[in-house]
Amino acid sequence: MNDDLQLKFKFWIEKSNGESILGEGKWMLLKAIKETGSLQAAVNQLGYTYRQTWENLKKIESKLGFPLIEKTRGGEKGGHTILTAEGEKMVYFFDHLYERASPEINKLFEDMISSLQQLKQHE
C-alpha cells in the first residue's frame, strides 16, 4: 500500500439547487481582508483580480441576504475594507469547521488505510 496517500477535502455553502455560494477561496479572501484591512491588498495577496472579486462578493452577499464587508473610500489615510459582524462570523465558522473537522476526517482516513493494509496482509 502506498504510504504517501493523503485525503484532501473542502467545505462550501451552497443553495438547495446546488448553486455554490461561499467556499474555501472566499473564506481565504475574507480572512485576508480581515488581516490587511483592504480589499485591494487582499486580492493582491491572493492573486485575484479586483473587479471580478468585488463582483463575486456582491453576488455572494446578495445570495446570503447580508453584507460580508464594509468598504470606506478615500479620505486622508485612504480607503479601507472591514468585515461586517456577519463576515466575521463566516470567517469564524470556517476556521472552526476546519479546525474541528480535520482531525476527525483524517482519523477516519487513517482507519480506512489501516483496514486496507490489514486486508492485504491476510491475502
What span, in angstroms and rounded, lies between the C-alpha atoms of 77 and 54?
A: 21
Domain boundaries, the chain: 22-121
Mean pLDDT by 10 residues, the chain (123 residues): 82 94 95 95 95 95 96 74 96 96 95 89 74
The Cβ of residue 19 has, within 10 Å, a number of other Cβ atoms equal to 8
Q: What is the CATH code for 22-121?
A: 1.10.10.10
pLDDT digit string, tens, across residues 29-63: 999 999 999 999 999 999 999 999 999 999 999 99
Grid coordinates belonging to 56: 463575486
pTM for this one?
A: 0.82
